[in-house]
Amino acid sequence: MSTLPPPIPGTPKSGGVMKPPPVPSGFGGTTATTKIHAEDYVRASILPLVIALVATVASLILTLFFRNVSTWVHLLGYLLTPFLVIICAGLDSVQQRRKATTDLYFLENRKYSFFLRALSALALLISIPHINGIATTIAAWVADL
């Protein structure tokens, strides 16, 4: 006679990993299987990329068509690019890293991050005329003192 307790139902006999018990569906003792469909996956948000694209295009329009209007136009263009574009790139990076570590069904999209980094570099180039316009206004103001 053995002094060991009887085995627990559902536990592996040879030290393997225990599988969860099947879930009864209610009819005839059959078990329901859950499958993950493509629409169940959480995808990376395209919103930071869209916001960065709109900010870049708006700043480019301000640079090309409203160059000598006002210092406020240059200040707005300077806030749109590079600041807003770089903030969008950072938010996308943080969002994808957090969701990738916490959600098993999250699908990363590294193309969004790549395009946002490229837009950040382009935004730095687009901001040069805005910086020049702001510097010209400040230089004229200092010269009048």
Amino acid letter, 56: T
Over the chain (145 residues), the average pLDDT of each successive run of 10 is: 59 53 54 58 88 95 86 90 94 91 84 95 94 92 90
pLDDT tens across 71-106, in order?
889 999 999 989 999 999 999 999 998 888 888 778
For 113, the 3-state DSSP assignment is helix
Amino acid letter, 95: Q
Q: 101 Cβ partners below 8 Å, 6+ apart? A: none
For the chain, the domains span 39-143
Q: What share of the chain in percent tops pLDDT 70? A: 72
pTM above 0.85, yes or no: no
Report the relative pairing of strands 42-43 and 106-107 from DSSP bridges.
parallel
Report the relative pairing of strands 106-107 and 23-24 from DSSP bridges.
unpaired
- Name the H helices within the chain: 47-65, 71-78, 85-102, 110-143
CB 109 within 8 A of CB 65: no
How is residue 25 written in tokens?
Answer: 């569906």
Taking alpha carbons only, the member of 132, 124, 60 closest to residue 86 is 124
